[in-house]
Amino acid sequence: MHDPLLAVAGASAGYNSVPIVRGVDITVNASEIALVVGPNGAGKSTFVKTVIGELPLLSGKIEFAGTDVSRWSEEQRASAGIGYVPQTRDVFPTLTVTENLEVGGYRLSRTDCRHAIEGTYERFPQLRTLRHRKARQLSGGERKMLAIARALMASPQVLILDEPTAGLSPKIAHQVLEELVVGLARLGCGVLLIEQRVKLAAAIASNATVLVDGRVRSTTTAEEFRALPDVSELFFGPLETAAETP
Q: Tell me, what CATH number does 64's domain have?
A: 3.40.50.300
Residue 62, pLDDT score: 98
Cα–Cα nearest to 127, from 158, 148, 112, 157: 148
Indicate whether 141 belongs to any domain.
no
Q: Is residue 81 in a domain?
A: yes
**How high does pLDDT run on average in the chain?**
92
What is the band of 1 on the pLDDT scale with cuts at 50, 70, 90? low
Q: How confident is the model at residue 235 (pLDDT cuts 50, 70, 90)?
A: confident
Q: Residue 128: inside a domain, yes or no? A: no
Residue 42 has pLDDT above 50, yes or no: yes
Q: How many domains does the chain have?
A: 1
Within a domain: 125: no
Residue 60: which domain range? 6-88+157-244
Residue 246, pLDDT score: 36
Distances (CA, A) of 23 to 55, 137, 237: 15, 42, 20
* Closest alpha carbon to 187 in 164, 161, 156, 208: 156
Residue 129 belongs to some domain of the structure: no
What is the structure's pLDDT at 242? 38
Mean pLDDT of 26-36: 96
Asked, for residue 134, whether it belongs to a domain, the answer is no
**pLDDT tens figures, 94-114:** 999 999 999 999 999 999 999
The residue-averaged pLDDT of 62-84 equals: 96
pLDDT confidence of residue 237? 61
Which is more confidently placed, 242 or 126? Answer: 126
Residue 80 lies in a domain: yes
pLDDT score of 38: 93
How many Cβ atoms from other residues are within 10 Å of residue 199's Cβ? 9
Residue 137 belongs to some domain of the structure: no
Q: Evaluate if residue 190 carries a pLDDT over 70.
A: yes
Q: pLDDT per residue over 144-177, tens digit each?
A: 999 999 999 999 999 999 999 998 999 999 999 9
Residue 82, CB-side half-sphere exposure with 13 Å CA sphere: 27
